[in-house]
Amino acid sequence: MLLYNSATRKKDEFIPHTEGKVNMYTCGPTVYHFAHIGNLRTYIMEDALEKYLRYIGYDVNRVMNITDVGHLSSDADTGEDKMLKGAKREKKTVMEIAKFYTDAFFSDCEKLNIKRPDVVEPATNCIAEFINMVQGLLDGGYAYIAGGNVYFDTSKLDDYYVFNNFDAEDLAVGVRDSVSEDENKRNKTDFVLWFTKSKFEDQELKWDSPWGVGYPGWHIECSAISIKHNGEYLDIHCGGIDNAFPHHTNEIAQSEAFLGHPWCKYWFHVLHLNTSNGKMSKSKGEFLTVSLLEEKGYNPLAYRFFCLQSHYRKSQEFSFEALDNAQSAFNKLVARVAALKNEGEVDMAVAEKYSKQFSDVLGNDMNTSLAVTAVYDALKADTNDATKLYIINDFDRVLSLDLAEQAKAYNEKSVAPAANEEDAEIDALVAQRTQARKDKNWAEADRIRDELNARGIVLTDTPEGVKWSRK
């Protein structure tokens, strides 16, 4: 498999440290709010990567942290502590907030068919591991104490690695949001490993440590959790592109300083989901969630379909118009699968040919959009329906669009499958309008009715539901 590696800035042949086995780490969510659909784009693409690795026979161990503490990285972080802000907003404790939004995150993942990683580890479970790693860094001369905090000394490295060509201005900024300078630092790029003193004094969660009562910095959690569950050699580290610097850069610095050898070979970064106003972001406060899409009558899997249609290394622009198109294409696809009869014997030679096409496009740096095209090609194949169904179910091990289940539900709902693509599309629009009306979303219901009307479709309310006919 060829995989683009942000560390080498090219597509590399994927060769894991141990033959047949892949250790994979994913930066998990910061659980002070719902995940937005931008965050979930990253998790969908990482899920496709994990499933593809399994599809081609690897034994994968995927580890994810939950940032329920330790999302600060310097005393210069501005604004309020995010977890505390969430707790205050909802008049709950930090741990209650963390539990609520962790559950909400996994419920969204389930709706989007994102598999739960093999190991999910909240940062608050690993304080002993963090302390051990910080101590190791101090012992090795890679860290220093200043103003009550323990800092990583980036000047001790020959190569304080950065993924991209960040300029000095960017490098001066050591945290997620905009910052002011932290006076304790010896070098601009240094970062906190353990806090005992900070302006975020009102932290709810603090632990005893050799350096006093305090709490961990943000970057240490991912290194320590990955080493705990994946061992000293990590094959793939994933995350959204905003994590490349400083978070992943600092993970590499501290992990390699601690271990004394190279740590992670491949870095998989997913580009952002943007809206016309720029990057979708949790801290901006205005963002779209899976529940909101559902309330508007969209099938979460249509959002997954939308994501798979673009390449993970390109940023993707979100608009409701684009999602409407994805929903309608998804409905049509389901209708086509629903029209297949499970008849005939599976022709394995044909199935293998298509599986190879599918595997080849994903094996070339996860081209999920061509993988979706492979589904359409299989539907057009010169073979029987049983073979087509077999191929589609096989591809769904990676795509996870639930095509067979969706088709079954479609057949159960709409007695007879649509005669052709156009009918299927009209059925889907009528169903969307019914949902919009149920949701009292009259504007959307009217919009769909007008669209149908413009296409010469007349709607009639009957006791069995809405029927449509051509003018």
- Asked whether position 42 contacts ligand AMP by CB under 6 A, the answer is yes
Out of 5, 6, 23, 39, point to the residue binding ligand AMP (CB under 6 A): 39
Q: Which is nearer to Zn ion, 243 or 387 (CB)?
A: 243
Site residue total, ligand AMP (CB under 6 A): 19
Minimum Å gap between C-beta 165 and Zn ion is 22
- Asked whether position 120 contacts ligand AMP by CB under 6 A, the answer is no
- Asked whether position 400 contacts ligand AMP by CB under 6 A, the answer is no
Q: Which is nearer to ligand AMP, 92 or 282 (CB)?
A: 282
Q: Which is nearer to ligand AMP, 50 or 153 (CB)?
A: 50
Restricting to residues 227-246, name those near ligand AMP by CB under 6 A.
239-240, 242-243
Out of 22, 24, 27, 133, point to the residue binding ligand AMP (CB under 6 A): 27
282 binds, among ligand AMP, Zn ion, none (CB under 5 to 8 A by kind): ligand AMP
- Asked whether position 117 contacts ligand AMP by CB under 6 A, the answer is no
222 binds, among ligand AMP, Zn ion, none (CB under 5 to 8 A by kind): Zn ion
Q: Which is nearer to Zn ion, 27 or 361 (CB)?
A: 27
- Asked whether position 282 contacts ligand AMP by CB under 6 A, the answer is yes
Q: Which is nearer to ligand AMP, 40 or 407 (CB)?
A: 40
29 binds, among ligand AMP, Zn ion, none (CB under 5 to 8 A by kind): ligand AMP
Q: Applying CB under 6 A, which part among 34-42, 393-401, 407-415, 422-430 lies near ligand AMP?
A: 34-42
- C-alpha–C-alpha distance, residues 85 and 65, integer Å: 21
- Asked whether position 272 contacts ligand AMP by CB under 6 A, the answer is yes
Binding residues vs Zn ion (CB under 5 A): 27, 222
Q: Which residues bind ligand AMP (CB under 6 A)?
A: 27, 29-30, 38-39, 41-42, 67, 239-240, 242-243, 270, 272-273, 279-282
